[in-house]
Amino acid sequence: MKTPTRIRLAIQKSGRLNNDSIKWLLQCGLKINYSKKTLICPVENFPIDILFVRDDDIPSLVMNGVCELGIVGENVLLEQTTAINENEIDQKYHVVKKLGFSRCRLSIAIANEKPFANIHSLRNLRIATSYPHLLTKYLNAYDVPAKILTISGSVEIAPRLGMADAICDLVATGKTLKENNLKEVEAIIQSQALLMKTLHPSHANKKRALDRFLSQIA
């Protein structure tokens, strides 16, 4: 019998999701031998290769069928799908399941000393974020105009630098907000890790390996 072709599962290379994702894969019974520098790691007891990539790249790797599976935060997937036409991406992936770890929320925060009554207090403020599409959608729903500044990391320092009046970023423990003299005023979305799978047609041998893995974790 022909050995089934190996499938690829993308996880975050470094950051919050990395440890939790590996822990989950081990709990699923996969034997993984990896070091910090590894970018691709074959699973010893399953026809799967684990790819270590930037989390921003995971949705497109799965949608394009480069990887059959990916573990990514809902925050990343929602931001990217909000940016693209929803009908266009609908057929390209499927959420297998929410995994219950790496929980956080995407929230708007302002300086502790700033007054805040309700969402309309944000009117015309400069808001720094790495999630411009989700933030725009949220503010539009309340008809609140604002100037959105997109930055890719360390968003919480923007108010201290005088670049922004508010921020919109992930909050888990709230430690980063506290350290930067910020208070959370609006939660936009709740997030956790999820397993996504490609709907891109793949080789029959790969489909077998994919189905076997999915039935193992069901």
Binding site residues, ligand PRP, CB under 6 A: 15-16, 153-154, 156, 169-176
CB of 16 to ligand PRP, least distance (A): 6
- Per DSSP bridges, beta strands 126-129 and 69-73 are unpaired
Q: What angle do CA 81, 86, 89 make, to 5 degrees?
A: 75
- Per DSSP bridges, beta strands 104-111 and 182-191 are antiparallel
CB of 186 to ligand PRP, least distance (A): 15
Residue 179 DSSP label: H
CB of 101 to ligand PRP, least distance (A): 14
Looking at the Cβ atoms of 19 and 118, the one nearer to ligand PRP is 19
Looking at the Cβ atoms of 48 and 135, the one nearer to ligand PRP is 135
**174 in the Ramachandran plot: left (φ > 0), alpha (ψ -120 to 50) or beta?**
left
Looking at the Cβ atoms of 155 and 209, the one nearer to ligand PRP is 155
Looking at the Cβ atoms of 91 and 154, the one nearer to ligand PRP is 154
Tokens 């992936």, residue located: 93
Q: Tell me which H or E stretch contains 53.
A: strand 48-53
CB of 189 to ligand PRP, least distance (A): 14
